[in-house]
Amino acid sequence: MKDLWIVIIGMGLGSFALRFVFLGLVGDRAMPDWLLRHLRYTAVAVMPALVAPLVIWPSATGGETDPLRLAAAAAALIVGYFSKSLYGAVGAGAAVMIAGAWLPI
């Protein structure tokens, strides 16, 4: 139990320190244009990094690639590319997953 509290406090301090560096120390200073240009792509890079393992090696199928998940990812990619809408891409992927669960194959 004591180890758990040490981990919780350590994670809290680490989280605070990371946020303080950006908000407390750098927050009132102007950042260079090259850094701002690179930071614009952070969210675009995080979403695929979170989703890719769930599509390619889903734990629900024992790590085997699932064609339904690949189809949902493809639908989300296509809708997101053409509509430039995160909600549209997520909705398209969810619609394919729901339709695949209900259709008898």
Check whether 24 has a pLDDT greater than 80: no
Q: What is the DSSP string of 31-96?
A: PPHHHHHHHTTHHHHHHHHHHHHHHHS-GGGTT---HHHHHHHHHHHHHHHHH--HHHHHHHHHHH
- 70's CB contacts (< 8 A; 6+ apart) are 55
pLDDT beyond 80 at 25:
no
Q: Which of 73, 62, 64, 77 is nearest to 100 (CA)?
A: 73
Tell me how far apart the alpha carbons of residues 52 and 3 are, in angstroms, rounded to a whole number. Answer: 33
Q: What is the pLDDT of residue 82?
A: 95
Lowest mean pLDDT: which of 2-11, 23-32, 70-79, 84-93?
23-32
Judged against a pLDDT cut of 70, whether residue 43 lies above it is answered with: yes
Mean pLDDT, range 73-88, rounded to an integer: 92
Query: In terms of pLDDT, which residue wins out, 65 or 14?
Result: 14
Kindly report, residue by residue over 88-103, the tens digit of the pLDDT.
Answer: 999 999 999 999 988 8
pTM of the model: 0.61
